Every structure is written in C-alpha cells, then in structure tokens.
Structure 1
Amino acid sequence: MSLRSSIPPGDVAVPDRVRALAGNAEPVPVWRNELGGVTFRVGALYVKWGPRNLEASMAEEAERLAWAARWTPVPEVRDHGETDTEEWLVTSALEGESAVAPAWVARPDVAVRAIAVGLRALHDVLPVEECTYDWSVPTRLARAAARGIALPAELRDPPSVDRLVVCHGDACSPNTLIGPNGRWIAHVDLGALGTADRWADIAVATMSLGWNYGPGWDETFLDAYGVDPDPVRTAYYRALWNAT
C-alpha cells in the first residue's frame, strides 16, 4: 500500500455525491490520496469520497471504526455507502488537527512524539483476542497476489513476530490528530486495521516522518514509543508496504 496523501488545492471538483450529502453546507477539500479519493469538511462532519478500488473499502473502514471506538478515540461513523463506481464514508469531526497541519509541521519535535505516543497507546489498548481483522504478512501477500502484484521472493520470508498487536494499518503521520496541548487525541483512516506485528506499523510510521518533517526523526519516534531500533523488521515492513 505505497500510498501518499496530501492537502489538496482549493479548486478541487466536488463530486455530485458529496454535494448531495452536504445539503446546504459548502464542502471544503481537506485531503486527497493517490487513488483519486478526496476528503471534504462539511460543517461538523467529514465526507470521505473515492472511486471504488481493490485496495481499500470504506465499508470495511466503517466496520473497523465502529469496532475500535469501543477502546480508543476515533471518528464516529454517520453514514457510508457505495455504487458500482464510487464509495463514501461520513464521520463526525473531532477536535484537534492532523499531525501534518502547518502548525505541527513547524513543530516536528512535538508532532513526532505525539504520533509515537499515540501509536503505542493504540497498540496497548486494542485487544488482539477480540479482533477478527487480520493484517498479517500472509494476508497482505494474498491480497497483493489477488490484485495481480508480483512480489519479490524475499518478501515471502518475513522476520519473526516481535509483538502481535492490533495495528492501525496506515500509521502515516497524517492519521494522528493532535490537540492544542501537543498531545495525540485520536486516530483516523483505519480501513486496514488488523492484527499484525507492531513493526508493520512502526516501520511505516517512521518512514512517513521523512516525507512530512524531513530526515532524522526515527530516533525521536522510537524513544517516545518506547522501543529499540530494529533494522531488520523496519527494512522488511517498509519494503512490503512499498511493494503492495
């Protein structure tokens, strides 16, 4: 899932579906991904819209959000649906800002620690024994094969599991929300949530730091998360992410 997202310019076309969901409110584009999906702020709600694809499902995300909400702060699902060509997810707005909002990009030392502490909290609180969603290496390899992706042979021999947790599934920097006090307050975009080695999240989270804050933040992140560096697992899970 080598997928990057960005804050879109103000001239983004608003899909008819989003217009219909917005009613009298004016949709404001706040996020866009490489799959063609755009998230809009609509009053006190967010509308996530995108073309249907084989890599992600908003119906699955709605289900995972509802499950995770029993233990950790995530957006409340208000509506979701799909047609043959599009899908959408409506959630409540939460306080705070994305960790890549300009205010936090200007304070990377605070943002990186908040992301790390938030990810550790997520890993500690979500119960593996009650999670029916799977994000393990065999499952990810099988899904990639189903999409016709040819994977390097070395990815079929993963390192042993360090600690099995319920992973976020897309622990990139933008998916942590930070409050005015500089502490994490919630997570968003849990469409791939599932059980896996915690390094499947950590490796991608630290890789994302470079995209958003520049190089050199891995040590700060690992210190705040509370784990020693693991070059082997980091390299493997970054390669798996980029390949699938």
Structure 2
Amino acid sequence: MRVTDRIGTLLGDDAVWSADHEGLSGHVSRVTSAAGVFYVKQGPAAAAEHERLRWLERWASVPDVVAFDGDTLVLADVAAPSLESAAPPHIGTIMGRALRDLHAVPIAECPFDERLDTRLARAADRVRAGLVDPDDFDDDHRGLSARRLHDRLIADRPATEDLVVAHGDYTPGNVLLPSGGAPVLIDVGGLGVADRYLDLAIAVRDLGEDFGPAAVADFFTAYGLDAADERKLYYFRLLDELF
C-alpha cells in the first residue's frame, strides 16, 4: 500500500505493516510504530467511509480519524475486541441495543443514500464487472449465478422500504466492545438511509450461525421487534451475496 508523504511521516519510519485484509471499506492494514497503532484503509470505499465517520461521530461511538489524505484513511486503534472475537454471553442483547440506537437517528439528518435503488444499481455494476464470486454464496444459494441472483432480487423486490439510518454491514465483527464503554461501530463505508432489514438480515444470519438461536432471540428482544418479516430477512440476506 503506497501512502502520501504526509501519511508516511505520521506513521513514522519504523512503521510495521500487517498483511492487507479485504473489507467493504477497501484494503485494510494494521500499522504499528513508535507513534502508536493505526488502521489504514485505501481506495474509493475508504473515502466513503471517511465521510460517514465524520458524520456518524455525532450520533454513535466510532474510531477516531487520525488523518485522511488522497484516498487514504488512517484510524486510531480502539484497543477493544470485536463482539465476534470476545463472544460475550449476552452478545445478542448488545447488538440489538446498539442497532436500536443507530436506527433511532433521524433519517432527515443523514446525507447518505443506501436505498434499494442505489444498492441494486451498485450490485448490477458489480455483477457486470465480474466482482461477485458465487463460490462465496451461502449454502442455499450455491449453484446460482450472480446474474441470476440479481434477477431474482429485481423480481422479488419489496413493495415498500422501512427506512432508517442503517450500518450497511452489521455483523458481530463490526461492533467493538471497549471495557466499560459503549459499543464502537466500525467498517461503516456502506452506512446510509436504507430499509432496517438491511441490517437485521445480516445480524440475524451471523448471530444464528455463530452463536445460536438464543442469541437471535436476545437480539430481537433488545432491538424491540416482536415479529420479524421472514421474507425481508431472506431478501436482504440475498442482496448481501452481491457485496
């Protein structure tokens, strides 16, 4: 990963870079130096995340932005484990409360659009560019091509959207749990106004697979949803396959 002189000076000559990781916010590296520990992201998605972090810090706990230069974003290390790695006994409750608080942010305040028109158009671009790997699909979608899956999303699109400020990739790995502090939201490059099921579907999928049905039940109770729309849960899980 090449960085500007300003970022290089900030990180220091003794900086040790980890191997890159791939996420929705672009390439991610962990950098350790005498100046501290940082996470460095690069690319158009990192620029999108920078905008969202600057906006979201008014409403939720997020990592501190140390610098942004060119298309390179430098974040301070929160020094806290994710819910995925910490696996606290009440993980569903923690995730449900944090998401309830995020979804309570007034949508009129949010300048970022992640409604279905936007997401489906972006998904179509990814399919045309060959950026979707069907080998990564969930087991019940194996054998479908990316184009066939997109066609199904168009045909089965919900008639209405229940709009909130959505995280966009709400998984246990993207919620950090500082000791004695509020949960910290990371990887927010896809945040914007969207159907609440964009977040609910991914949270339920990951909680169910990794922590079991009790965690899902706790999640819904803490979030405040008595009866989930199963069709929407499935639809937005299907949509996530293209990202």
TM-score by length of 2: 0.76
CA contact (8 A) 1:30 1:41 kept: no
- Which aligned pairs between 1:134-153 and structure 2 lie closer than 5 A? 134-147=113-126, 148=128, 150=147, 151-153=149-151
Structure 1 runs (4+) deviating above 6 angstroms are none
CA shift digits 1:132-178 (9 cap, x unpaired):
21111111111122231624333113224463101011111111111
- More helix per residue: 2
The Cα shift of 1:26 comes to 4.4
Pairing partner for 2:39 from 44, 47, 62: 47
Which residue in the other structure is 2:206 paired with?
208
Pairing partner for 2:78 from 72, 85, 94: 94
Gaps of at least 5 residues in structure 2 are 129-145
The Cα shift of 1:72 comes to 1.6
Asked which structure has the greater CA Rg, the reply is 2
The Cα shift of 1:186 comes to 1.6
CA contact (8 A) 1:45 1:90 kept: no
- Which aligned pairs between 1:12-161 and structure 2 lie closer than 5 A? 15=1, 17=3, 20=8, 21-24=10-13, 26-27=15-16, 29=18, 32-33=21-22, 37-42=27-32, 44-50=36-42, 52=43, 57-82=45-70, 87-94=71-78, 96-101=80-85, 104-105=86-87, 107=88, 109-124=89-104, 126-147=105-126, 148=128, 150=147, 151-156=149-154, 157-161=156-160
Which residue in the other structure is 1:3 paired with?
none
Q: For the structure 1 residues 161 and 184, does the alpha-carbon distance in structure 2 shift closer, same or farther, using more than 3 Å as the test?
A: farther
Which residue in the other structure is 1:192 paired with?
190
TM-score by length of 1: 0.76
Gaps of at least 5 residues in structure 1 are 1-14
CA distance in 2 between partners of 1:115 and 1:215 (Å): 14
For CA contacts below 8 A with separation 6 or more, give which structure has more relative contact order: 2
Q: How many percent identity over aligned positions?
A: 31
Which residue in the other structure is 1:176 paired with?
175
Alignment coverage as a number of residue pairs = 215
